[in-house]
């Protein structure tokens, strides 16, 4: 299984995170934000936007996108996004 290191990922859209909730029509998913899981790690959450896909509209992790054979959009690291909100 592929592992994703979100600390090294960047985003094409350097605007507000809410801008990424409205992806270009060719993207399979839109980044929604970060969720802290019980062991303290942050997990990126995405909404499936691939037209006609059975999971369209579902909120999923990057691992689920990979399992669904969908592309993971590029995003900013959690540290960069969280530091902007302070």
Task: Indicate whether 56 belongs to any domain.
Answer: yes
What's the rounded Cα separation, in Å, for the pair 47 and 58?
A: 5
pLDDT for 29-73, tens place per residue? 999 999 999 998 999 999 999 999 999 999 999 999 999 999 999
Task: Indicate whether 86 belongs to any domain.
Answer: no
Strands 29-36 and 59-61, by their bridges, are unpaired
pTM of the predicted model over 0.75: no
Question: Domain limits at 30?
Answer: 6-81
> Collapsing DSSP states into helix, strand and coil, what is residue 5?
coil
Task: Indicate whether 37 belongs to any domain.
Answer: yes
Alpha helices in 1-86 (DSSP H): 62-67, 78-84
SS3 content of the chain, % helix, strand, coil (to 5): 25, 20, 55
In the chain, the number of structural domains is 1
Contact predicate 7/77, CB 8 Å: yes
Average pLDDT of the segment spanning 75-83: 74
Task: Indicate whether 32 belongs to any domain.
Answer: yes
């Amino acid at each position: 299984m592929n592992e994703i290191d979100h600390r090294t990922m960047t985003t094409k859209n350097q605007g507000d995170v809410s801008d990424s909730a409205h992806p270009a029509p060719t993207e399979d998913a839109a980044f929604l934000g970060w969720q802290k899981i019980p062991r303290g790690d942050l997990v990126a959450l995405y909404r499936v936007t691939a037209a006609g896909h059975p999971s369209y509209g579902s909120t999923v992790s990057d691992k689920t996108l990979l399992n669904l054979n969908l592309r993971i959009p590029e995003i900013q690291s959690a540290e960069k996004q969280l530091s902007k909100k302070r």
